[in-house]
Amino acid sequence: MKQRGLLLVISGPSGCGKGTILKELLAVQEQIYLSVSAATRRPRDGEVDGVHYYFMSKEQFQAEIDSDGMLEYTCYCDNYYGTPRKPILEHLEQGDDVILEIEVDGALQIKKQYQDAILIFVMPPTLEELEQRLIGRNTEDSQTIQKRLLRAKEELKLVGHYQYIVINQTIEDAVKDIQSIIRAEKCHYNPFLNCETQPKSK
Ligand code: 5GP
């Protein structure tokens, strides 16, 4: 019997390094699919439609919600972000592990629907460092950076809902931490998997 893939949710404040960690993880981990979200914000320099996000208007986003096309969605700093349902379910069925890189509200929506989803929170070493990283990457104006920092503080309050915390001291260690989590989760006993090996009822 084919084993369903793991559903991994990775959150962490904007600027904590999630994107870089996931890029490195994908380069070394097999059979893993990174979900491409839909978003109504403007693409940053170098971002490609269909690769980094499916960039869409608010109307298109609403149409996706109305047709039940989103597994979860939220409004984050004045823009909508959501996870397209179909590719996630298909990859899980194929046995691929699936990663959603989403914020806290979306992560909690996923956990409600899939109790076996694995929630991982990536932390910056300090809030000061987070601010420096947000300023340093030069992709947002100062007002947006302040909004994102406020949101980060709110998100940090909800870290107790996550099963794992990864502190991004170095990208290399953070990637290893996530690989270890995946490995451990694959060894977890799950009574709903491999049902043939369970004792049959009389
Ligand atoms: P950014 O604008 O920096 O690309 O993303 C802003 C925030 O939105 C990040 O915390 C990111 O994890 C989150 N995000 C990206 N895609 C999704 C999604 O599909 N759903 C939810 N709930 N959050 C998302």
Q: Which is more confident, 125 or 43?
A: 43
The residue whose CA has the least distance to atom 5 of ligand 1 is 14
The answer to whether the CB of 36 falls within 8 A of the CB of 121 is no
Tokens 């109790």 map to which residue? 115
The pLDDT-based confidence of 191 (bands split at 50, 70, 90) is low
Instruction: Verify whether ligand 1 is closer than 6 Å to residue 15 (CB atom).
Output: no
Cα 41 to middle of ligand 1, angstroms: 10
Q: Which amino acid is at 156?
A: L
Quick one: which of 27, 20, 4 has its CA closest to 98?
A: 4
Residue with tokens 């990457």, as numbered in its chain? 137
Alpha-carbon distance values, 88 to 4, 141, 180 (Å): 12, 33, 22
pLDDT digits (tens, 9 = 90+) for 111-140: 999 999 999 999 998 888 888 888 888 888
Kindly state the DSSP code that residue 194 receives in the 8-state scheme.
S
Distance from residue 187's CA to the centre of ligand 1 (Å): 30
> Would the pLDDT of 179 be above 60?
yes
**pLDDT for 53-96, tens place per residue?**
999 999 999 999 999 999 999 999 899 999 999 999 999 999 99
